[in-house]
Amino acid sequence: MTLTVVLLVAFSIVLDVIGQLCFKIGLDRLPALEGEFRLNAFWGQVFNAPLLWAGIGAYAIEFFVWLEALSRAPLSLLFPAAALAYCGVVLAGKLVLKETVSRRRWLGTLVITLGVMLVAIGSQA
């Protein structure tokens, strides 16, 4: 993998994590709806939530970054590397959102990271 591809994948991962954080924080900040769940009221709130739009924006930029990465490297190498976004989201959930992350979840995150390393190292051989 060239440095450019590594940077593109890293940027894609960062944008994915930012998008997920914006979605979660944006939804958590929506006021509670009274009574039964009313789909129209919910969607009205969603369309007026700036953080949700920021998350959509992060995903839109990520789409174009990902296309550039795909034009430079094989999908079979890029897609496992993109799985590091799962690790980033778990870490961001812990650090930014102060979520409790169990040992089992940390272990799963480590397994994903090791798998990505095996794929990346395997592509060198």
pLDDT tens, residue by residue, 29-57 = 888 777 666 677 888 888 889 999 999 99
Max Cα separation, the chain?
60
pTM above 0.75, yes or no: yes
pLDDT tens per residue across span 52-110: 999 999 999 999 999 999 999 999 889 888 888 999 999 999 999 999 999 999 999 99
